[in-house]
């Protein structure tokens, strides 16, 4: 891989790391929202939606980390 493509991929990795950080922040906010709900709301549709959102954001984070690993492995 030439230097220019390696640099472009390194920049893309930085963008992905920033994206992961932002998604983690939103996941944490949604988790706090769920955790601070009264128990009867946690067991309602609103609580289930918040829980599903947290799980989906966690899945997105995991997928982005896998992509980041793959890109880093191709750069090496």
State the average pLDDT for the chain: 96
Quick one: pLDDT at residue 76?
Answer: 82
Give the C-alpha separation, 33 to 67, whole Å.
29
Q: pTM of the entire structure?
A: 0.89
Instruction: Give the Cα-Cα-Cα angle 49, 66, 74 (nearest 5 degrees).
Output: 155
Per-residue pLDDT, averaged over 9-18, amounts to 97
Long-range contacts of 28-33, Cβ-Cβ distance < 8 Å, separation of 24 or more:
30/54, 30/57
Q: Which residues lie closer than 8 Å to 75 by C-beta, 6 or more apart? A: 1, 6, 9, 10, 13
């Amino acid at each position: 891989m030439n230097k220019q493509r390696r640099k472009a991929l390194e920049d893309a990795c930085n963008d992905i790391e920033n994206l992961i950080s932002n998604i983690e922040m939103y996941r944490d906010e949604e988790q706090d929202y769920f955790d601070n709900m009264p128990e009867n709301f946690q067991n309602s549709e609103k609580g289930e939606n918040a829980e599903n959102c947290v799980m989906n954001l966690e899945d997105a984070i995991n997928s982005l980390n896998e992509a980041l690993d793959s890109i880093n492995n191709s750069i090496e």
